[in-house]
Amino acid sequence: MRPELSDEAIRLGRVLAALMPREPEVHGLVALMELTAARFAARVDRNGDPVLLADQDRRRWDRGRITRGRAALATADALGRGRGAYGLQAAIAECHAVADSVDDTDWDRIVLLYEALGRISPSPVVELNRAAAVAMATGPASALRIIDQLSASGALRGYHLLPATRGELLRRLGREDEARSEFAVAAAIAGNDRERALLERKARGSQR
């Protein structure tokens, strides 16, 4: 992560919002950047290793950024022209930001938001994220079917988060050997050293 680059992007986004106050997607983009940056402090541990959403200390989330992000999203919605891709992604980030825990998150709403995003801005990464939300909303079995369709399509070949996500689903289903195999595949193609180390630990059977 490069927080200083994020800060500059947010500053420029706010300049653009001032220049184009009637453009909802500009406000949606500002909302998305603020809500995403709000979680930066909790996304890595003291050693610089990635911390998954479920394990993040939400007390470290920047409440000021969350407030500003929600306000920008409300401004976008008030314009009454519907949400574009940035606005929908910001709405997903808002669902995470307002929840006290992973279990308290409105996963059904997140699934619906990803479905809407997939209609206006379809991509295999959106579908992968929808699968992760489906796993939380209705269980890993239904999500695994989505992941297997993505794998069969070849659209995300070489993208480490596909086998990593499949490994998580298989582990939740109690299919440990298959899960470790998927984590090993993900580790082999991960481009980030920290992520690779985390996936290698999971491939060995460690949870963290």
Q: Who's near 30: CB < 8 A, 6+ residues apart?
A: 10, 13, 14, 17, 69, 72
Nearest to 144 by CA among 118, 117, 172: 172
Q: Read off the pLDDT of residues 54-72 as tens digits, 9 standing for 90 and up.
A: 999 999 999 999 999 999 9
Every domain of the chain and the residues it spans:
1-103, 143-208
48 confidence band (pLDDT: 50, 70, 90): confident
pTM of the model: 0.92
> What is the rounded average pLDDT of the residues 46-60?
90
Task: Please give the pLDDT value at position 207.
Answer: 55
